[in-house]
A and B are shown apart, each in its own frame.
Chain A
């Protein structure tokens, strides 16, 4: 254990893991949208955010243009600027100032129109050039509790002019409210579906860690136990386990996932179960080779001579000798599993009920983030996947020093042996 803490790589990896686990554990306190985990795919949960805008820090006071252009927020309509009665119906007009931005990003805005019953409304925009253009002409059917909603995008500076018409006998509605979409949002911006990317990143931590650690622990332990069983029992047990190993190491895992997703809804749990079925092969071969060597050691022979059983020898002598190596392999296989889950997600076979980094990247790919250069949508999830991979590789290097003190600083193997999807 002391040797592990002597390796800088191991300590750095452990520190990163602790930080990540802390952030993942306190996710509900850190995210700006509590409850986002349950509502990730709920359009109405995110409806007031601006779609596909970059992070806040891309337009700070330190960047020319200033923060003023980016400020979003609510504007209450107040008293109507104009109220005129024509032939029984009343025309009410409100004007909202959009600011003289001329900035690089156009505004998006949502207009809330509280009313009851049918509400004819005309919205037009007056640009900086002073020309008035009609944007929409609608007859909204509004119920009492929910205000009518109109969404606009690609607004350039100037004014937004809202004209409501009150039909004779209709009740006077409250003033409309304009929610001006910010040109920037949150620490990491938002995606096309208006979701806060920082929230998604933080929520993804727990699944990545849970899946990676649990699956790698279980698969490596299964691999070790089977390898010890094959090596210590020999004979037909050895033969059968080796054939099964060959079968599973050649069998592609994807068909099972595809069939699973066709029959059931794909979930993280079914992925974990399949990973357990297939990934034990990764640890099997090297451990098997080592167990074969250990089997011939003198202390095993000595154990045999004092009449210990085969099971006792396997668990008391062989297993402890292999465990340090097993832990290094575990740490090293975590990135592979997280990558695999991400790859499955990018194919569209991932669990859509939870927020995972792979799922975010899938949405980004499908919804044209690459073409539209929404880098704040593509970079963070991939960086998190990579960082998690690196931290476990660092830990593996630290563990490697415990296992193999003679060769400082060389990882067990550079890449996990199983191919990626």
Chain B
């Protein structure tokens, strides 16, 4: 029962925070969003007038004013400022992001939600596979470093992440693209598949080939910090009583590392992976822009360059939503992974 009430409270808290963030976003974007909305209304008015065919000048003017007034009213542009912001927030909260100012999806539609849903799987593919690879390699490297304290790997691991903090990932991406796609044509210069995309199994190979370079760059940059955290975690855990007990029972060291230690490290590892994934999705926008990977980041990148306000607003609030969902799920998952937290009450 307590678990349920906690879950309920945490979800409610997350929702309240989302509403607050969306309100702030729409207040900040109010002026530019309305400017783009007005431009869109004018476009629509022209369309209506054109489809009306030949009209007398008076009737033409009447229709123009009527359509304009109608559209303005329907979009709440005549309301006071606060009400406009509230209407926009309500639209965003119900995922009605409206139409983009100029960007089109692959099927040629201009709905922002369509654009986002089209880009989301690509983003998840890139950053999801990155998170999995970083986790697998990071755990292995971290455990190996922890097993041989002050060995070469351990020392390297304590220095490398520090050096990598200052490296802009997108800059490494630019360099990798220049070296391995233009100087040495090993990898494609961007995008997600060849044009036209091959079908069937060659299509999958083509996708992997396009995925390779951004994935290698991301994993190579993010692996070491993760491995260091795993290493620190494990070094801390190795001293704990249940590990000592396992060792006393004569369980082989390897098995202790991969079973006993890893079990204790699970919540912290999960946090690191989920936070890393969330940060990647919202943080490494530029990598997608550089590689032309048609995900959320690339959409965002293009929207910023073209000042496409509806798309910007949509992507931003969607990302904020994803972030919050991730954080709430993380808080809830702790209780299942580490029963001690649930017993203590507040995590």
Contact = CB atoms under 8 A, between A and B. Distances in A.
The prevalent SS among residues of B at the interface is helix
A402 B282 CA distance: 35
Contacts of B285: 421
Given A250-B17, A262-B307, A343 B301 contact: no
A312 B14 CA distance: 37
Given A373-B183, A397-B162, 6 more contacts: A250-B327, A255-B28, A365-B290, A375-B178, A393-B165, A414-B229
A209 interface: no
B166 A339 contact: yes
B201 interface: no
A378 B165 contact: no
A375 B165 CA distance: 22
Contacts of A144: none
B286 interface: yes
B212 interface: no
A394 B163 CA distance: 9
B163 A382 contact: no
Nearest to A262: B32
B115 to A, nearest CB: 18
Interface stretch (A155-163, A166-174, A221-229, A384-392): A384-392
Nearest to B178: A370
Determine which residue in A258, A342, A371, A416 has the highest number of CB atoms from chain B within 10 A of its CB, and name it.
A258
B312 A263 contact: no
Contact of A250 (B158, B174, B189, B320): B320
Interface stretch (A82-90, A107-115, A317-325, A344-352): A344-352
Interface in A263-306: 263
B284 A420 contact: yes
Interface residues of B, number: 52
Given A378-B175, A415-B161, A385 B168 contact: yes
Contacts of B278: 419
Nearest to B171: A382
Contacts of B301: 347
Contacts of A338: 166
B225 A419 contact: no
Interface string A226-267: 000000000000000000001100111011101100110000
Determine which residue in B24, B29, B166, B316 has the highest number of CB atoms from chain A within 10 A of its CB, and name it.
B166
Ranked nearest first, the 9 interchain pairs of A and B with the lowest CB-CB distance are A389-B166, A419-B283, A382-B171, A414-B225, A335-B166, A414-B161, A419-B279, A386-B166, A393-B162
Nearest to A394: B162
Interface string B229-253: 1001000000000000000000000
Interface of B: 17, 20-21, 24-25, 28-29, 31-32, 158, 161-163, 165-172, 174-175, 177-178, 182-183, 189, 225, 228-229, 232, 278-279, 282-286, 290, 301, 304-305, 307, 312-313, 316, 319-320, 323-324, 327
Contacts of B167: 382, 385-386, 389
Given A390-B166, A414-B225, A259 B171 contact: no
Contacts of A390: 162-163, 165-166
A393 B158 CA distance: 12
A411 interface: yes
Contacts of A382: 167-168, 171-172, 174-175
A410 B233 CA distance: 13
A125 interface: no
Contacts of B168: 339, 342-343, 382, 385-386, 420
A409 interface: yes
A22 interface: no
A194 to B, nearest CB: 21
B162 A247 contact: no
Given A247-B21, A258-B304, A414 B165 contact: yes
A361 interface: yes
B225 A415 contact: yes
A346 B289 CA distance: 10
A379 interface: yes
B323 A347 contact: no
A31 B232 CA distance: 45
A387 B178 contact: no
A129 to B, nearest CB: 30
A252 B182 contact: no
